[in-house]
Amino acid sequence: MPPELIVDLLIAAGYVREEPVASVGEFSLRGGILDVFSPRTTRRIESNFFGDAVESIREFDPDTQRSIGRVTESILVPMRELSVRREEFMTWSDEAERHWTTIGSAADLRARIAHAERGEPFPGWEYLIPLTRPLTSSAFDYFWRRRFL
């Protein structure tokens, strides 16, 4: 898998691009080197790519930035419950402009649409994304299943 595709998936899962990677939920891509700090690990993971293939995975100490050693695998868990890709935010911006033609806080909506047009999340997106990704269940569905199943 190309590292650029992994970066898109990391962003959709709530990771933030930072240089250098120091905290949980951050990543960076420099050439063929992808650094990720997953909440599943206690240290940053550096993956060295040759094209689309991983050559090595190493664990780094976030304080000293020194290699601790090689690892055979790395599990990257999402930083948020809902994974949303850039294209979905862009689609949301188009739909929002059609859906809300008159609104009291138009400046706030314009700011959110501006972020979404660039494919970026904005404050409160989790509550507004059902405009393009409809909810398939309610809290009642979960309570009922827990009680009767």
Q: What is the pLDDT of residue 149?
A: 54
What type of residue is 15?
A: Y
Q: Are 2 and 12 in contact (CB under 8 A)?
A: no
- For residue range 9-45, list pLDDT tens digits in order: 998 898 999 988 888 999 999 989 999 999 988 888 9
Tell me the torsion sign for CA atoms 35, 37, 38, 41.
positive
Q: What is the pLDDT of residue 119?
A: 87
* Cα 45 to Cα 67: distance, rounded to the nearest angstrom: 9
Q: Which residues of the chain have pLDDT under 70?
A: 62, 102-105, 142, 144-149
The contacts of residue 119 (CB under 8 Å, 6+ apart) are 85, 86, 87, 89, 90
Instruction: Give the end-to-end CA distance of the chain in Å, rounded to a whole number.
Output: 40
Element (H, E) at 99: helix 86-99
Find out whether the peptide bond into 78 is cis, omega within 30 degrees of 0: no
Q: What is the pLDDT of residue 117?
A: 92
* Cα 95 to Cα 27: distance, rounded to the nearest angstrom: 31
